[in-house]
Homo-oligomer: A and B are copies of this chain.
Amino acid sequence: MTTSSCSYCHPENEFVLWRDEQCRVLLVEQTDFTGWCRVVWNQHLAELSDLDEQQRHRIMQVVAEVEHNIRELMAPKKINLASLGTGLPHLHWHIIPRNEDDSHFPEPVWCQPLRPGVVRPLAKNFVDEMKKRLSAAL
């Protein structure tokens, strides 16, 4: 993959909750796992170990801060974290709130669903709260 064909290098219609010069936090809008966020490293790199130590500390600080606030605002049973990138090798983290009555629990969200599943509403003021909290903490 070249950067010219990478959708994280040429984003369209991203719902940005926070960003700086190194990375950004996106809300996934079309999902049954409400509150799913992504942390995207702005530069086109594939792997966590392509970052230097300070860069790795920073992206994982952002991931942990997003996770912490999703837990506070959505109170999920569990959080899934994943940096896969086999389809799109541009470093990005998934932060996915999971609940026992969701369509896939306890299986990963990328597998076949086990049941129709309950889709929760986004917590009241989720977007405003995430923007405010991330801006204050990061």
Chain A positions within 8 Å of B, measured between CB atoms, are 46-49, 51, 53, 56-57, 60-61, 63-65, 67-68, 71, 77-87, 89, 98, 105-108, 110-112
Contacts and interface: CB of A to CB of B under 8 A. Distances in A.
29 contacts: A47-B79, A49-B67, A49-B71, A49-B79, A51-B64, A53-B61, A56-B60, A57-B60, A60-B60, A77-B86, A78-B84, A78-B85, A78-B89, A80-B83, A80-B85, A81-B81, A81-B83, A81-B84, A82-B82, A82-B83, A82-B84, A82-B108, A84-B108, A86-B98, A86-B107, A86-B108, A108-B110, A110-B110, A112-B112
A47 B95 CA distance: 11
A122 B82 CA distance: 24
Contacts of A56: 60-61, 64
